[in-house]
Amino acid sequence: MPQSAPEVRALDVRTMSRPERHSIIFASFDELPVGGALDLTSDHEPRPLRQEFEADHPGGHDWSSHEIEPRVWRTMITKLARTPLPRLLTDTGKLGAEVGDAEDTGAVWKLPVPTRDLDANVIALRPGEQITEHDGPEVDVLLHVLAGDGVLTTETGQVDLQPGALVWLPRRSRRGITAGPGGLRHLSVHRKRQALLLEPPGRTSADQQQPTV
């Protein structure tokens, strides 16, 4: 019995407002079966869109784009996998090996996936630098010490932080961190928080997320 041809869905975004285009394109792509494709027509070369597909679906899509006439671009985006693929993000061993670098402080790595349920970042503290004591956010946080040392101050005492320590920070719990003489680097992972400000229609960049400890 002959196989049916892959589904091709035509989508012309030229009449859509720019803020809503990408969210509509990704929603249409998500609805496709594996092997299906979006036949996209746009009024400019879709370079930012391609960057978002490379961030969200690396290895899970095929991309072909060309200008068919002035200011009219046709792009074929083929779906190769049912969901976004598991992928290697970074080597925390290398991130930890840079501890003590006087030039690095704050969030030195963030989870580079635009569409996600989690936030994660690597925080670098210089020797003696502090995250002042404060009440935590409305999310539980898992903290993994990568390198260096320090002290976690809680509501009733202190916890020593050494490489390999895995620390649970319950939501709203009181905490503060002081780096030791060699500095401190830790990975924090938590559920993604809702934006405090209303965002325009579309997708949210990973760079807009703030670190949580």
**Which of the two residues, 100 and 201, has the higher pLDDT score?**
100
For residue 170, pLDDT over 50 is answered with yes
- The CATH number covering residue 99 comes to 2.60.120.10
Task: Write down the pLDDT at residue 95.
Answer: 80
| Residue 67 covered by a domain | yes
Tokens in use for 82? 């049912």
Q: What pTM does this model have? A: 0.76
Task: Return all residues near 181 (Cβ < 8 A) that are at least 6 apart.
Answer: 127, 128, 149
Q: Do 112 and 204 fall within a single domain?
A: yes
Q: Do 135 and 75 fall within a single domain?
A: no
Q: Do 118 and 204 fall within a single domain?
A: yes
Structure confidence by residue, pLDDT tens digits, 179-213 = 999 999 999 999 987 654 434 444 444 444 456 77
Q: Do 30 and 128 fall within a single domain?
A: no
Name the residue range of residue 177's domain.
92-193+200-208
Task: Return all residues near 147 (Cβ < 8 A) that are at least 6 apart.
Answer: 96, 97, 98, 99, 163, 183, 184, 185
| Residue 87 covered by a domain | no
Structural contact between residues 89 and 55, judged by C-beta atoms closer than 8 angstroms: no
| Residue 213 covered by a domain | no
Q: Do 102 and 12 fall within a single domain?
A: no
Task: Write down the pLDDT at residue 73.
Answer: 97
Region at 99 (left for phi over 0; alpha for psi -120 to 50; beta for the rest): beta
- The CATH number covering residue 27 comes to 3.30.110.40
Q: Do 22 and 108 fall within a single domain?
A: no
Q: Do 67 and 137 fall within a single domain?
A: no
Structure confidence by residue, pLDDT tens digits, 56-81 = 999 999 999 999 999 999 999 999 99
Structure confidence by residue, pLDDT tens digits, 33-47 = 999 999 999 999 999
Q: What are the φ/ψ torsions at residue 97 (nearest 5 degrees)?
A: -65, -15
Q: How many domains does the chain have?
A: 2
Q: Do 100 and 187 fall within a single domain?
A: yes
Q: Do 100 and 173 fall within a single domain?
A: yes
Task: Write down the pLDDT at residue 98.
Answer: 61
| Residue 1 covered by a domain | no
| Residue 151 covered by a domain | yes
Q: Do 32 and 130 fall within a single domain?
A: no
The residue whose two tokens read 């405090």 is 196
Q: Do 67 and 149 fall within a single domain?
A: no
